Amino acid sequence: MNHTGPHNKGFTVLLVGTTFMLFIMSVTYCFGENSSNGPVYVGSLACKSCHEKEYISFTTYAKKSKSYKSIEMMKKGLTEDDMKKCYSCHTTGYGKPGGFVSVEKTPHLKNAGCEVCHGPGSLHIQSEDFNFIEKQPTLKVCNTCHTSERITDFRYTPLIHGGGH
């Protein structure tokens, strides 16, 4: 029997361990010297351990969970300044404390994740208190990105809450 490759138990343990360490490093980065005294963004993966059903539904069905692909598809025709204009709606927390900076520095925030609608999650994760997040986001939150101008310019019909949870 061949014990090399992805079916090896040791490989699986290494993969899970590496993924966990990357998660811990990203949370440490967000809570560390980069953070302010207020809440900061930690990425959707940080939500998974307590909200697994919602996380799986979101990452499976919500187009915004893969929103950075739109920037990558258009990248060839965009300047760096044009790309930065896209970041506010296609990433998590761009321009805010602990938010998206770049794919290299904040890969866990490169897509529009849970915190785009629910707000930065660091204090909620630390305390498990729902008062630190937007438990039931309003249409006002959606309208930050889903403006009538953008709907016309990009010719799409947004599914508000579509594929969310």
pTM over 0.75: no
Percentage of the residues of the chain whose pLDDT score is greater than 70 = 68
Q: Is residue 131 assigned to a domain?
A: yes
Q: Is residue 81 assigned to a domain?
A: yes
Q: Is residue 121 assigned to a domain?
A: yes
Distance between CA atoms of residues 67 and 111, nearest Å? 5
Look at residue 13 in the predicted model and tell me its pLDDT: 54
**Total number of domains constituting the chain:** 1
Stretch 1-17: mean pLDDT: 55
For the stretch 28-87, pLDDT in tens is 444 444 445 789 999 999 999 999 999 999 999 888 899 999 889 888 878 888 888 899
User: Residue 16's domain spans which residues?
Assistant: 9-154
Q: Is residue 165 assigned to a domain?
A: no
Q: Quickly list H helices, 75-147.
A: 80-90, 114-118, 122-127, 139-142
Distance between CA atoms of residues 86 and 84, nearest Å? 5
Q: Is residue 160 assigned to a domain?
A: no
Q: Is residue 137 assigned to a domain?
A: yes
Mean pLDDT of the chain: 79
Q: Is residue 138 assigned to a domain?
A: yes
Q: Is residue 87 assigned to a domain?
A: yes
Look at residue 38 in the predicted model and tell me its pLDDT: 86
Residue 20: is its pLDDT beyond 60? Answer: no
Residue 104: is its pLDDT beyond 80? Answer: yes
32-36, 42-46, 121-125, 157-161: segment of lowest average pLDDT: 32-36
Between 78 and 117, whose confidence is greater? 117
- Residue 145 has φ and ψ, to the nearest 5°, of -105, -35
Look at residue 90 in the predicted model and tell me its pLDDT: 93
Residue 68 structure tokens: 């950075």
Look at residue 23 in the predicted model and tell me its pLDDT: 52
